[in-house]
């Protein structure tokens, strides 16, 4: 088992600096490991306790019964270095360092970070300044993220690597709320040792991961990252990246946050383009595009039929689809004729696209009939619908064909500025 | 009283084609007028009923006791023309025509629309193909929009003119959910007579309207629109416009929807620029920017302090603020020193911006102290905050200075593509 996989799927975990109080940050990892069903050995380490949550507590690292696969170090920066030295000495596989106060805080912190690396020797390090990692596939939580307080964590096909711990927690929480399931979530933060590329590489090998999502503040080793991205592409796993630092203020904040220079934003665009990475332009896309890709229902083309009962909503949707590079061909003569048999009068617009059945579309039979006609039609690659109603819009009627890629069409009525380049990328990808 | 104001604030309303069944579209206007407290006279017109909702029902227009200020015509397109002719003949001030089947349906409909105009003579027409209008200031609902089924309608300072009826309903519903109050909402749709410009002109005179929001598919009379926009500007009422038809598909759909050619999108950009209109790039901005402007708390500059307890969220916010053209100056020496007295250790980033108090910021005293220091500082024009927590972000801590313009900063963690031009426009406006 490689060092990274020993970290992602440990059989034994030491929690150094564990608190007996689960309300404290230092009390969370043990509580979360048990709550979410970790089946390996847990070794709390704390000289002030003999037992934590019914588990035997060890006074120090040297007292551990054997070298753990992983140690979570919850001590302050001052005491972390000594613990790391001891963990490395007993042969611990990898340590997760939560302490902050390293390169993100300036020269003094950078010196401390170099010392941390030296103290670790051959032992792998995740962090420092990290919130840890979560392996939902195997129900292993190696993290103090408050998002793990949730009772139900939904595992799924999206592997996330984030250079921010807070973002990991936010995405874990939001993902659950949106029904997006994760396989692994890893916060790399200061990356004194293991970095983005290491985890992209590992996720490319992970059978539980079908799509990789990245929250990027800076790529420290472009060559390794490029190789890992290519490996993921070869494995058929699309990568979606949200890269911070598009503005000067953001780049400066990113540099402060995890202590690395961010490079120019255009450089990242080029790197993403070269490696086929889909760039998420809005933070919410970092959930929505992977969720759409993970569905593995991909568009075969770019033609979409829109069925609506309110012209305004249909127009909004059509405009956003157009900006995103989709085509809305009018129904052919036969389909138009079939639609017209459903509705008398000439106020409905049935032989164009959006197909507007007007408010009469609130009659379920009419709407069902129109959907049936469109299903039999075969001229489109996807269908989307917009049903008018009391609140002027709402439910979605699908034609049974794959719905348009959520990444391109999500929240179309709120679609942002003409993201042509981005839309092409997404829809191009979905055509493969 | 001008024709437009007779329409916006009638003392008597005839409802032609009123149904006794409030569940039917034709039953709604009478029900809504009474439900929301209209104090004028209501004359239902329907040959098949003698009484509707306790009100005397008239068999036809000629039987009305006197010419109403406004008539809502709920008949199909086939019967509307005759009713319009009769309403005009008795001297009705204005008619609202809900029927569709006019210029939005092609050549035959366009002919019918010309005939409608001739039938109206001197009487003003709103529509056809409209959902009507709502005057929340005076609790007068002249509409069949299902959004009026809500028990509580919040009146406020935003006047909306929409060329789509469905959009009017959607914004009315969403506005209520977001706490945005409207003064008047008018759906102009096919604009056989009264158009966008007429209502912008009227709202410029309306004491209850402080901001004007427009949903635009096409401007049929640019000269009149320009004059009305200038009048609003002179009255100190900013205009925010969401213009559909940015893509070919959207332009085509807009043309189908309300039957007008949309012109090129660049032409609208130029027109908006020239008249100082703020262009909403996302549909949701059509609520958020007016709401922010209506607050009349405007930024005096572009410097913002961001206080965060999670570096990732602070970085996201900083990046979006940077893209929107804001500055995040680091605290000056005195402020930095004052912040450092609040927190020991060197893991917090207190002398830069975002000011990251780390998770220790979850201690209310620390956060309060930091807010107090920033309030006393005077170096920024606005403050924003982001508090970490279980779900990795959440509540907002305000410094007491005006929060940054919601139009520019709303949902910053979901900020879309670099909208520099737009951001400048918004923030430039807020600086006045």
pLDDT one-digit tens code per residue, A188-217: 999 999 999 999 999 999 999 999 999 998
Option in A77, A320, A322 nearest B248 (CB): A322
What superfamily in CATH does domain B1-129 come from? NAD(P)-binding Rossmann-like Domain (3.40.50.720)
Q: How close A358 gets to chain B, by Cα (Å)? A: 9
Option in B147, B254, B328 nearest A390 (CB): B147
Q: Are strands A155-162 and B211-216 parallel, antiparallel or unpaired?
A: unpaired
Option in B100, B257, B393 nearest A315 (CB): B257
Exposure of A266 by Cβ count < 10 A (0-12 exposed, 13-18 middle, 19+ buried)? Answer: exposed
Count of residues in chain B: 432
pLDDT one-digit tens code per residue, B250-300: 777 777 666 555 567 888 999 999 999 999 988 989 999 999 998 877 778
Option in B217, B345, B422 nearest A101 (CB): B345
Residue A364: which residues within 8 A CB-CB, separation 6 or more? Answer: none
| Number of helical H runs and strand E runs in chain B | 15, 17
Span between the terminal Cα atoms of chain A, in Å: 33
Q: Residue B242 has what pLDDT? A: 95
Residue A155 scores a pLDDT above 70: yes
Domain boundaries, chain A: 1-129, 154-298, 307-375
Contacts of A25 in chain B (CB under 8 A): 359
Q: A7, A68 in Cβ contact below 8 A?
A: no
Selection from B190, B119, B142 nearest residue B40 by Cα: B142
pLDDT one-digit tens code per residue, B70-125: 999 999 999 999 999 999 999 999 999 999 889 888 889 999 999 999 999 999 99
Selection from B17, B8, B20 nearest residue B141 by Cα: B8
Contacts of A247 in chain B (CB under 8 A): 318-323, 418
Q: Are strands B304-308 and B382-386 parallel, antiparallel or unpaired?
A: parallel
CA–CA distance, A217 with A197 (Å, rounded to integer): 13
Band (pLDDT 50/70/90 cuts) for residue B421 is: very low
Q: Residue B429 has what pLDDT? A: 36
Residue A362, token pair as written in the block? 């609130």
Band (pLDDT 50/70/90 cuts) for residue B385 is: low
* The residue to which tokens 């005491």 are assigned: A79
Q: Residue B54 has what pLDDT? A: 93
The pair phi, psi for residue A318, each rounded to 5°, is -60, -40
DSSP B306: E
pLDDT, averaged across chain A: 84
A318/B165 touch (CB, cutoff 8 Å), yes or no? no
Contacts of A164 in chain B (CB under 8 A): 310-312, 315
Find how far residue B60's CA is from the centre of its chain. 36
Q: How big is the CA angle at A113 (ends A108 and A116), to the nearest 5 degrees?
A: 130
Band (pLDDT 50/70/90 cuts) for residue A296 is: confident
Q: Residue A405 has what pLDDT? A: 33
Q: Residue B52 has what pLDDT? A: 95
Q: B250, A318 in Cβ contact below 8 A?
A: yes
Task: Name the residue in chain B with its Cα closest to that of A391.
Answer: B147
Q: Residue B207 has what pLDDT? A: 97
Q: Can you list the positions of beta strands (E) in A336-401?
A: 355-356, 382-386
The pair phi, psi for residue A97, each rounded to 5°, is -105, 110
Q: A318, B252 in Cβ contact below 8 A?
A: yes
Residue B235: which residues within 8 A CB-CB, separation 6 or more? Answer: B204, B205
Listed by number, the residues of chain A in 211-240 with a beta carbon closer than 8 Å to a beta carbon of chain B are 215, 217
Q: B63, B87 in Cβ contact below 8 A?
A: no
Q: Residue B211 has what pLDDT? A: 97
Listed by number, the residues of chain A in 38-57 with a beta carbon closer than 8 Å to a beta carbon of chain B are none
CA–CA distance, B415 with A218 (Å, rounded to integer): 19
pLDDT, averaged across chain B: 84
Share of chain A above pLDDT 90, in %: 53
Option in A249, A256, A283 nearest B414 (CB): A283
Q: Residue A246 has what pLDDT? A: 79
Greatest mean pLDDT among A68-77, A296-305, B314-323, B344-353 lies in: A68-77
CA–CA distance, A65 with A58 (Å, rounded to integer): 9
CA–CA distance, B229 with B238 (Å, rounded to integer): 9
Q: Do domains A1-129 and A154-298 have the same CATH topology?
A: yes
CA–CA distance, A18 with A258 (Å, rounded to integer): 25
pTM, whole model, 2 decimals? 0.75
Exposure of A395 by Cβ count < 10 A (0-12 exposed, 13-18 middle, 19+ buried)? Answer: exposed
Contacts of B389 in chain A (CB under 8 A): 146
- Of A119 and A176, the structure prediction assigns the larger pLDDT to A119
Selection from A408, A424, A404 nearest residue A416 by Cα: A408
Tell me which CATH code domain B154-298 carries.
3.40.50.261
Q: B375, B394 in Cβ contact below 8 A?
A: no
- Residue B223 CB neighbour total at 10 angstroms: 9
Q: B93, B64 in Cβ contact below 8 A?
A: no
Exposure of B34 by Cβ count < 10 A (0-12 exposed, 13-18 middle, 19+ buried)? Answer: middle
Q: Is A247 on the interface with B (CB under 8 A)?
A: yes
pLDDT one-digit tens code per residue, A413-431: 345 444 333 333 343 333 3
Q: What share of chain B is helix, strand, coil (3-state, %, to 5)?
A: 40, 20, 40
Band (pLDDT 50/70/90 cuts) for residue B345 is: low
């Amino acid at each position: 088992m490689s060092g990274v996989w020993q970290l992602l799927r440990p059989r034994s975990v030491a929690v150094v600096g564990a608190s007996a109080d689960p309300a404290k940050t230092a009390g969370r990892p043990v509580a979360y490991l048990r709550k979410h069903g970790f089946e390996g050995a847990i070794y709390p380490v704390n000289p002030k306790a003999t037992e934590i949550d019914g588990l035997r507590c060890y006074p120090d690292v040297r007292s551990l019964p054997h070298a753990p696969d992983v140690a979570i170090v919850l001590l302050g920066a001052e005491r972390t270095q000594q613990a790391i030295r001891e963990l490395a000495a007993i042969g611990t596989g990898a340590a997760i360092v939560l302490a902050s106060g390293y390169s993100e805080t300036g020269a003094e912190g950078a010196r401390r970070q170099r010392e941390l690396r030296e103290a670790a020797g051959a032992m792998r390090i995740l962090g420092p300044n990290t919130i840890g990692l979560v392996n939902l596939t195997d129900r292993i939580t190696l993290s103090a993220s408050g998002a793990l307080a949730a009772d139900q964590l939904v595992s799924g096909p999206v592997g996330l690597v984030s250079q921010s711990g807070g973002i990991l927690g936010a995405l874990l929480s939001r993902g659950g709320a949106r029904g997006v399931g994760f396989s692994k979530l890893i916060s790399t933060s200061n990356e004194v040792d293991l970095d983005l590329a290491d985890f992209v590489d590992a996720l490319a090998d992970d059978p539980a991961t079908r799509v990789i999502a990245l929250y990027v503040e800076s790529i420290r080793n472009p060559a390794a990252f490029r190789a890992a991205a290519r490996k993921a592409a070869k494995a058929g796993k699309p990568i979606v990246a949200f890269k911070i630092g598009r503005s000067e203020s953001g780049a400066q904040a990113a540099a402060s946050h995890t202590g690395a220079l961010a490079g120019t934003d255009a450089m990242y665009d080029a790197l993403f383009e070269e490696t086929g990475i889909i760039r998420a332009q809005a933070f919410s896309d970092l959930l929505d595009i992977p969720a759409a890709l993970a569905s593995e229902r991909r568009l075969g083309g770019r033609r979409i039929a829109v069925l609506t009962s309110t012209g305004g909503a249909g127009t909004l949707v059509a405009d956003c689809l157009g900006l995103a590079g989709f085509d809305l061909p009018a129904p052919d003569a036969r389909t138009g004729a079939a639609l017209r048999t459903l509705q008398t009068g000439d106020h409905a617009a049935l032989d164009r696209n959006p197909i507007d059945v007007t408010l009469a579309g609130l009659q379920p039979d009419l709407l069902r009939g129109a959907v049936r006609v469109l299903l039999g039609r075969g001229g489109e690659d996807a269908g989307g619908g917009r049903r008018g109603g009391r609140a002027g819009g709402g439910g979605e009627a699908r034609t049974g064909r794959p719905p348009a890629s959520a990444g391109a069409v999500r929240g179309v009525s709120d679609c942002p500025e003409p993201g042509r380049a981005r839309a092409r990328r997404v829809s191009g990808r979905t055509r493969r």
